Structure 1
Amino acid sequence: MAFIKKNYGWIIVTILAIMPMFILSAMVKIDTTNGFVFTLVENGGKEGMSTLEMLYHITGEFSIRWMTAVLTCTPFFILFGIHNLFVRQAMGIATAVWSLLHFVIFIWAEGFSETFTQFNYIAGFIAVLILIPLLFTSNRKWMKKLKRTWKKLQSLAYLAIILSLLHVAILEKTWMVYAIIIGIGFFIRIPVIKEKIIALRTKQVKL
C-alpha cells in the first residue's frame, strides 16, 4: 500500500498509456508456428482506413497527445500548485514509447528510406531521435547522475513538440487543437503572467 500511495500518479499514467495498446493488439495477429510472424487483421480499420493506416493514425494521435500532456504539467503547477515530477517523467516515457511505435509502423508501411522524402517525415524523424535519449534518462538514477545537465537535456522536449506539430500540421488540421493548448501553456509561463497567477493563487489559499 505504501508503494501505491507513493507512486499512484506514475501508476495511473502507466495504465492510461497501456490501455490503448489493447486496441492495437486486436488489429495484429502473431503466428508462432515459424517464429514470430506479425500479420494484420483484415478490415481492422475504420472510417475508410486500412488496418495499417488505422495503426499509424492511432499511434501518431496518442504520441502527440502525451507530448502535449507533458508540456501542460508546468502550466498546471502554476495554476493549481500541484506538482509531481515523476508523473511528468511517466508522461514523457509514454510519449517516447508511442512515438517510437508510430515510427516503427511507418517503416513497416513505407520503408525507412521514405523517411527522407518529405519535410514532415523528416521533422517527425528528428523528433523521435530527440525523444530516445529523453526516454532512457527519465528516471531517478539519471537525474542524480546528470544533475543540472538533466534539466537541459529534458528541455529538448520543446524542440520535439515543435517538430511534431510541424509533422502533424502538414498531414491534418487537428494540429490546431494541440497548438492552442501548448500556446496557452507558454503564455502562462511568461514570467509576469506566472508571478501574477501564483500570487493570486497564494492569496486565495491564505484566505
Structure 2
Amino acid sequence: MKAIKKNYGWIIVAILALLPMLVIINMFNVDLSNGFSLSLIEGKGADGKTTLEMLYHISGEFAIRWMTAVLTLTPVFILFGVMNLFVRQAMGIATAVWSFLHFIIFIWAEGFLETFTQINYVAGFVAILILIPLFFTSNRKSMKYLKSNWKKLQRYAYAAIFLSLLHVAILNKTWLIYAIVVGVGFIIRIPFIKNKLIERRKKLKS
C-alpha cells in the first residue's frame, strides 16, 4: 500500500497513457499460424478515415497531448504551487512512447526514406531524435548522475514541442489549441510575469 500511495501519480499517468492502446490493438490482426505476421484490419477507422489514417490520428494526437500536458506543469506550479517532479517524468515517458509509436507506424506503412520527402515529416523526425535522450534520462538515476545538466537536457523538450506543432500545423490538423496552451505557458514563464504571479500566490496563502 505504501508503494502505491508513493507512486500513485505514476500509476494514474500509466493508466491514462495505456488506455488508448486498447483501441489501437483492435486495429491489428496477428497471425501466428505461419510464424508471426501483423496486418491492419480494414474498416476500423472513423469519420471517413481508413484504419491506417486512424492509427496516424490516434498516435499523433496522444503524442502532442502528452507533450503539451508536460509543458503545462511549470505554469501550473507558478500559478498554484503544485508540482510533482516524478509525475512529470511519467508524463514525459508517455509523450515519448506515443511519439515513438506514431513514428514506428509511419515507418511501417510508408518506409523510412519517406521521412525526408516533406518538411513536416522532417520536423517530426527531428522531434523524435530530441525525445530519445529525454526518454532514456527520465529516471532518478539519470537525475543524480547528470545533476544540473539534467535540467539543461530536459529544456530541449521546448524544441521538440515547437517542431511537433510545426509538424501538425503543416498537416492541417487540430493544432491551434495546443499552440495556444503552450504559448500561454511560455508567457507565464517570463521572469517578470512569473515573479508577479508567485508573489500574488504567496500573498493569497498568507
TM-score of the pair, normalised by structure 2: 0.98
Question: Structure 1: where are the runs of 5+ without partners?
Answer: none
Give the corresponding residue for 1:116. 116
Give the corresponding residue for 1:77. 77
Cα offset, 1:167, TM superposition: 0.4
Question: Structure 2: where are the runs of 5+ without partners?
Answer: none
Query: Structure 2 CA distance, aligned partners of 1:173 and 1:138?
Result: 29
Q: Which AA in structure 2 matches 1:174?
A: T
Query: Structure 1 CA distance, aligned partners of 2:130 and 2:34?
Result: 36
Alignment of 1:1-207 (within 5 A): 1-206=1-206
TM-score of the pair, normalised by structure 1: 0.97
SS of the aligned residue for 1:132 comes to helix
Runs of 4+ off more than 6 Å: none
SS of the aligned residue for 2:7 comes to helix
Deviation digits for residues 115-165 of structure 1, max 9, x if unmatched? 000000000000001101111110001111111111111111000001001
Q: Which AA in structure 1 matches 2:129?
A: L
The share of aligned pairs that are identical, in percent, is: 69
Cα offset, 1:37, TM superposition: 1.1
Q: Which AA in structure 2 matches 1:135?
A: F
Query: Structure 1 CA distance, aligned partners of 2:81 and 2:156?
Result: 24
Cα offset, 1:36, TM superposition: 2.3
Q: Which AA in structure 2 matches 1:181?
A: V
Query: Structure 2 CA distance, aligned partners of 1:36 and 1:11?
Result: 32
Deviation digits for residues 69-98 of structure 1, max 9, x if unmatched? 010010000111001000110010000000
The count of corresponding residues between Structure 1 and Structure 2 is 206
